[in-house]
């Protein structure tokens, strides 16, 4: 499909999806067109997944980055707690002299 037609195709698809959701007659017509074109739910779900793959990948990257930051912060907290524990031990030892 030519790239210059894609905005029109997207607009038409969004309008059809809204009609399909809200209007029973439009839903029936859309189902008929899908069957006539030999599309089934598996075909439609596969196409949706392919189109949404970039969004899934971005979400996965953001989740991974957040997890990496969380692990780093937990490591920093652990190091500071260990330093504090050792400092209190040394101070307690010095006070006992």
Please write the tens of the pLDDT for every residue from 17-54: 777 777 777 777 777 877 788 777 787 778 778 878 88
CA-CA-CA-CA dihedral for 25, 20, 7, 45, to nearest 10 = -130
Q: How confident is the model at residue 71 (pLDDT cuts 50, 70, 90)?
A: very high
Per residue in 49-70, pLDDT (tens digit) is 887 888 888 889 999 999 999 9
pLDDT at 85: 95
Would you state the structure tokens that stand for residue 49, as one six-digit string? 């997944």
For helices 24-36 and 6-22, give the axis angle rounded to 10 degrees: 130
């Amino acid at each position: 499909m030519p790239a210059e037609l894609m905005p029109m195709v997207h607009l038409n698809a969004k309008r059809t999806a809204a009609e399909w959701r809200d209007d029973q007659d439009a839903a029936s017509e859309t189902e008929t067109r899908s069957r006539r074109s030999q599309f089934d739910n598996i075909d439609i779900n596969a196409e949706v997944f392919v189109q949404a793959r970039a969004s899934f990948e971005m979400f996965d990257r953001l989740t991974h980055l957040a997890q990496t930051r969380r692990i780093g912060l937990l490591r920093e907290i652990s190091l500071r707690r260990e330093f504090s524990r050792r400092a209190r031990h040394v101070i307690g030892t010095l006070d006992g002299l």
